[in-house]
Structure formats: structure tokens, C-alpha cells
Amino acid sequence: MFELIKRASLSVLSFMTALLLTVPLLTVSVPAHAEQGKVAEREMTQLAGTEFWQNVRAGEEGYTTSQFPEHGVLISTPGQTWYILKEKWMSPAGAVAIFGSIAFVTLMYIVIGPLMLSAPRTGRKVKRWSRLDRALHWSMAFTFLTLAFSGLMLVYGKHFLKPYIPTDLWGFIIMLAKQYHNYIGPIFGVLLVCVLLKWWRKSIFKKVDFVWFMKLGGMVGKHKGSHPSAEFSNAGEKALFWLLIIVGAVVAASGLILDFPIFGQTRRDMELSNLVHMLAALVLICGFVFHIYIGLFGMEGALEGMVTGEVDETWAKEHHDLWYEEVKAEQANQGETVAKKDEVKGAKPNEQTS
Ligand code: HEM
């Protein structure tokens, strides 16, 4: 028994001694470690060729070619601010804005109702959109809507979908959303440039557009049904066009910064781009809730134009009177030119016979 106690006390004693010896060693090993790091650094610059690469291949610590500005910072504490701004502020505010916009157009439909033609259709058609215009519009619409859907899934999916489906399925869906968003995003930028080049000319604001704005497009209030004058695009469409171009450019640029993190972007740059991207995309989505409402339900005859390329004369006269007059004047001019050509053709044989 005595032997046992003696052994136990000897073990405790040796443990305590070891502990007492290693604590100061540990404290001095920190500067020693730093010193080792410096030596390795010095060696790294001194060692040339084979020896250096031998060390790299051996997985030796400290042999890196990384020039990244944040190299060595493992935990980025300011990232917490980004997390709070994104998750606690922007994400709920965005949900309120999107549901708010949808609720607003639903209310518009119930209270004001769709804008119907005030005269019967004539059955005569006017060419409004070319095949290229329509292809561009529907490509943009498809790209934008699917990007909006996958983007919203990335932000809100964890709240609305994840708790209700199996984990594996959730993982698959969110992986698909992420890949789709990353790869299709740049196509939005390309389409945006095409839209700008194709439609900028008819989207320049003129004096007539201010009157259209003052009368709220003849959609509500005391001017309801008054059909203020408009060119090919009315003031609302022009505003939407520039919103798409300007805010869309911000979405595309910030998206590219996030998509290609190989140009020395720091974590701060990525966080800022993420917030800007989200905010700009939310503004666009809300803006286009109104556009889609008008196109699908809010205005009789508008969708027809973007589907077939042609609109009824009554629609053209009521919604875009200045454009309609232009088209008519052009048709009259063409008619005159054709008549003159026919006259000349008809006169020639007479001239020859006489
Ligand atoms: C279901 C979705 C959509 C529908 C039903 C729709 C419908 C329409 C219609 C009917 C027009 C022609 C208006 C007119 O003739 O005056 C139009 C024009 C246009 N749409 Fe859409 N659209 C949709 C989505 C989008 C999206 C997602 C975008 C872009 C992100 C977009 C951008 C445009 C632009 C730039 C114009 C030309 C406006 C102008 O300057 O005259 N559309 N759309």
C-alpha cells in the first residue's frame, strides 16, 4: 500500500515538474516560432531552384507564392458587419419590397382595373416590333426572370424551402441555383448591351414625356382614360428602359466582380459587391413587377405587339398617337412614291409609241 502511494505521489510530482518546465517553454516558443518564420522567409528568397521546389513539394510550411493582400488573415472579423447588413437588414427589407410591389399591382388590378381600348378594334394592323426586337425582348425576359428566381432562392431559399424538404434535395436545388446564377449572369450583361444599342434612340426623353408624367399616363386620377400623347415609347416605358440600363449595369458589374474573384479582390471588396448586387437586383425586380403586370394584365393589346410584332390601329392611335401619325405619314409617302413609279412605268410605253 505504502509502495502504491509512493508511486502515485512520484507520478504527480513528475507531472507537475513537467508542467512547470513546459509552461515557460511554451511562452518562449511563440517568439521562437516567429523567428523560425523569418528564417524560413529568408531561406525562401535565398533558396533557388530545386531546393525551393523540393521544399514546396514536401509540403513544408511557409513556402507559398501567394501575393494575396489578405494572406495570413484567417478570420475576417469585419465580415460580421456584412453578415448583419445582408441577413438582418437587406434580406427582410427586400422581401417586404417584392411582396409590397406584388400587392400594389394586385390592388391596382382590383381598384383601377386593366386599361381597355376605348374604341373598337379596326382589324387593321400596324407593324410595331421586328423579329429581332422580339427575340431580344424574350431572351432578356427569360434570362432576367430565371436569374431573379435563382438569386432569390440563394437569399431566401433557406427560410422558405429548406425547412420543408429533405436535406439532399435542398443541397441539389441550391447547388443548381448557384451554378445557374454564376454561369448565366454574364449573359445578362451581354443582352443589356444589345438592348441599349437597339432601343436607346427611341428612349430619349422629349417635352411630350413630361406632360405624360404629369397626367400619370392617363391611368389614374382626374386624367384617367385621357391618353396623353406619346411617341413609339411613352414616358413610362422610357423610364423603365433607363432604369434597366443603369441599374442593370450596376447588377452586371457587381456580379462580374463576384463571379471572377481572381483580380485581387479582398473580402471587403466581395462583401461590398455582394450588397450592391443584391440592392440593385431588388430595385430591378420591383421595377419589373410593374412592367410584367402592365404587359400581362394591365393594358389590353400590349402583349399582342410583343408576341406577334403587330398591333391594332386603335391601340396604336390610343397609346402612341405621335408614333401612329408618323407611321401613317410614312405609309402615305410610300404610297405616293409607288403611285409616281407606276405613273412613270405607265408613261414610258406611251412615250415610246408616240
Ligand atoms: C413575363 C414577362 C414580360 C412581359 C409579359 C413583357 C411584356 C412586354 C411588352 C408587351 C412590351 C411592349 C410594350 C409596347 O409595345 O409598348 C415590352 C417591352 C419591353 N420589355 Fe418586357 N415583358 C416581360 C419581361 C421583361 C423583362 C424581364 C425585361 C427586362 C429585364 C423586359 C424589358 C422590356 C423592354 C426594355 C421593353 C421595351 C420598352 C420600350 O422601350 O418600349 N421585359 N415588354
Is the Cα dihedral 292, 294, 298, 299 positive or negative? Answer: negative
| 134 compared with 215, residue with greater pLDDT | 134
Distance 155 CA to ligand 1 centre (A): 26
Q: How far is CA 264 from CA 65, 182, 249, 268, in A?
A: 14, 19, 22, 11
- Which pLDDT does position 344 carry in this prediction? 74
Q: Which secondary-structure segment (H or E) carries 348?
A: helix 321-353
Cα 133 to chain centroid distance, Å, stands at: 21
Least confident of 3-7, 105-109, 256-260, 350-354: 350-354
Distance 42 CA to ligand 1 centre (A): 63
Distance 292 CA to ligand 1 centre (A): 7
Distance 237 CA to ligand 1 centre (A): 9
How many Å apart are CA 285 and CA 312, to the nearest integer? 30
Least confident of 61-70, 71-80, 153-162, 180-189: 61-70
Distance 141 CA to ligand 1 centre (A): 7
Least confident of 64-68, 176-180, 223-227: 223-227
- Which pLDDT does position 343 carry in this prediction? 77
323 close to ligand 1 (CB < 6 Angstrom): no
Q: Which residue type is seen at 235? A: A
| 350 compared with 137, residue with greater pLDDT | 137
Atom of ligand 1 lying closest to residue 199 CA:
40
Q: Which residue type is seen at 300? A: E
- Write the DSSP symbol of residue 8: H
- Which pLDDT does position 193 carry in this prediction? 98
233 close to ligand 1 (CB < 6 Angstrom): yes
Atom of ligand 1 lying closest to residue 307 CA:
10
Q: Supply the residue whose CA is at minimum distance from atom 39 of ligand 1.
A: 237
- Which pLDDT does position 25 carry in this prediction? 41
Q: Which residue type is seen at 47? A: L
241 close to ligand 1 (CB < 6 Angstrom): yes
Least confident of 26-30, 195-199, 241-245: 26-30
- Which pLDDT does position 348 carry in this prediction? 53
Q: Supply the residue whose CA is at minimum distance from atom 41 of ligand 1.
A: 233
Alpha carbon dihedral 340, 346, 350, 352, in 10-degree steps, equals 90
| 14 compared with 134, residue with greater pLDDT | 134
Task: Report the pLDDT averaged over residues 194-221.
Answer: 90
Mutation to probe ligand 1, out of 144, 250, 291 (largest number of atoms < 8 A from CB): 291
- Which pLDDT does position 153 carry in this prediction? 98
Least confident of 13-17, 76-80, 98-102: 13-17
Q: What is the pLDDT of residues 252-306, one digit of tens each?
A: 999 999 999 988 899 999 999 999 999 999 999 999 999 999 999 999 999 999 9
Q: How far is CA 341 from CA 104, 332, 337, 347, in A?
A: 56, 14, 6, 10
Distance 288 CA to ligand 1 centre (A): 9
- Which pLDDT does position 350 carry in this prediction? 46
296 close to ligand 1 (CB < 6 Angstrom): yes
- Pick from 213, 196, 235, 243: which is nearest to 322 by CA? 235
Mutation to probe ligand 1, out of 137, 304, 318 (largest number of atoms < 8 A from CB): 137
Give the confidence band of 77 by pLDDT, cuts at 50, 70, 90: confident
303 close to ligand 1 (CB < 6 Angstrom): yes
Flag whether pLDDT at 212 surpasses 60. Answer: yes
Distance 277 CA to ligand 1 centre (A): 22
Give the confidence band of 19 by pLDDT, cuts at 50, 70, 90: very low
- Which pLDDT does position 22 carry in this prediction? 45
Distance 31 CA to ligand 1 centre (A): 66
Task: Report the pLDDT averaged over residues 156-179.
Answer: 98
Flag whether pLDDT at 21 surpasses 80. Answer: no
Atom of ligand 1 lying closest to residue 202 CA:
40
Q: What is the pLDDT of residues 82-91, one digit of tens each?
A: 999 999 999 9
Residue 93: HSE in the Cβ half-sphere, 13 Å Cα cutoff:
14
Distance 240 CA to ligand 1 centre (A): 9
% of the chain with per-residue pLDDT over 90:
63
Q: Report the chain's mean pLDDT, rounded to a whole number.
A: 86
Are 232 and 198 in contact by the 8 Å Cβ rule? The answer is no
Q: What is the pLDDT of residues 294-348, one digit of tens each?
A: 999 999 999 999 999 999 999 999 999 999 999 999 988 887 777 777 777 765 5
Distance 170 CA to ligand 1 centre (A): 33
